[in-house]
């Protein structure tokens, strides 16, 4: 699940190589301000996202097209599964 929401509620999707750790991403995206409509800080690491194979999602860092194998990135990268 390589999607991160910044504190403004914008989605950031990453490929396996670029997905940052929770600590790294929070420093970059976790305190940009609050989201719209009084929602407060919307930051979320490893958030839910649509299946990447169904639309043309790209990594925000390197521009690689995200595929089905990227859907479970969190498990493979951070839990060794
Ligand atoms: Zn990338």
Expressed in angstroms and rounded, the spacing between residue 14 Cα and the centre of ligand 1 is: 5
> pLDDT tens digit string along 7-17?
999 999 999 88
Is 9 in a helix, a strand, or coil?
Answer: coil
Expressed in angstroms and rounded, the spacing between residue 34 Cα and the centre of ligand 1 is: 26
pTM over cut 0.75: yes
Measured between alpha carbons, how far is 64 from 81 in angstroms, rounded to an integer?
23
Expressed in angstroms and rounded, the spacing between residue 57 Cα and the centre of ligand 1 is: 11
Q: Which residues have their alpha-adjacent CB atom under 5 A from ion ligand 1?
A: 15, 18, 59, 61-62, 64
> pLDDT tens digit string along 32-61?
999 999 999 999 998 989 999 988 999 999
Helices (H), ranges, 1-81: 22-29, 73-78
């Amino acid at each position: 699940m390589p999607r991160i929401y910044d504190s403004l509620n914008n989605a950031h999707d990453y490929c396996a190589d670029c997905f940052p750790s929770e600590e790294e991403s929070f420093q970059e995206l976790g305190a940009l301000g609050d989201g719209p409509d009084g929602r407060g800080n919307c930051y979320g690491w490893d958030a839910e996202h649509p299946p990447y194979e169904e639309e043309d999602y790209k990594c925000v860092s390197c521009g690689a097209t995200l595929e089905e194998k990227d859907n479970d990135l969190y498990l493979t990268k951070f839990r060794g599964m």
